[in-house]
């Protein structure tokens, strides 16, 4: 999970990191 967050942070523009991180956290919560 931490690796995924780091990859997101490294690949998306800084302004969208927070949005993507929230979406990822939401999706991760749904899967578990």
- What integer pLDDT is reported at residue 7 of this predicted model? 82
Residue-wise pLDDT tens digits, 1-32: 788 878 877 877 878 878 888 888 888 777 76
From CA 30, how far away is CA 16, in angstroms rounded? 21
Structure tokens at 7: 């990859």
- What integer pLDDT is reported at residue 19 of this predicted model? 86
C-alpha angle 21-22-24 in degrees, rounded to nearest 5: 65
Q: Which DSSP helix (H) or strand (E) runs through 30?
A: helix 14-31
Tokens 């990822």 sit on residue: 24
Threshold 0.75, pTM exceeds = no
Cα-based torsion angle of the residue sequence 19, 25, 29, 7 in order, rounded to the nearest 10 degrees: 130
């Amino acid at each position: 999970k931490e690796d995924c967050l780091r990859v997101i942070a490294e690949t998306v523009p800084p302004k969208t990191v927070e949005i993507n991180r929230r979406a990822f956290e939401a999706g991760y919560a749904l899967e578990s």
